[in-house]
């Protein structure tokens, strides 16, 4: 506590460089990292729901996530290709 009070009263905070806006808490990079962590927690919650509540074996839960990954990649690839070749325009 005294170190923090001395840090403020002696104005040692003036000698510290500010954080770059690229690494600031509200930057695009940090917001993306936060979204990835939230996604991983949601996937963990879904895995627990599938294995504990529904009773699917662990390998079955992994299979569900593998298929979801494949289908989402397929959809994203089709959308990307459609945007690239102007199918939607």
> Taking 80 as the threshold, does the pLDDT of residue 85 lie above it?
no
Residue 87's pLDDT is 61
User: 51 near 58, Cβ under 8 Å?
Assistant: yes
51 contacts: CB under 8 Å, gap ≥ 6? 57, 58, 61
Residue 71 has pLDDT above 90, yes or no: yes
Q: Report pTM.
A: 0.61
71 vs 10, more confident: 71
Instruction: Give the pLDDT confidence score for residue 76 in this predicted structure.
Output: 94
* Side-chain-facing half-sphere of 19: CA atoms under 13 Å: 8
- The single-letter DSSP state of residue 15 is G
pLDDT (tens digit per residue) in 16-60:
887 777 777 788 888 999 999 999 999 999 999 999 999 999 999
């Amino acid at each position: 506590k005294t170190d923090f009070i001395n840090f403020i009263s002696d104005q040692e905070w003036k000698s510290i460089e500010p954080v770059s806006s690229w690494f600031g808490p509200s930057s695009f990079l940090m917001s993306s990292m936060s979204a990835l962590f939230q996604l991983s927690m949601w996937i963990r919650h879904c895995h627990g729901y599938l294995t504990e509540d529904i009773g699917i074996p662990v390998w079955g839960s992994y299979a569900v996530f593998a298929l979801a990954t494949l289908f989402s990649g397929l959809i994203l690839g089709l959308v990307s290709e459609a945007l690239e070749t102007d199918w939607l325009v």
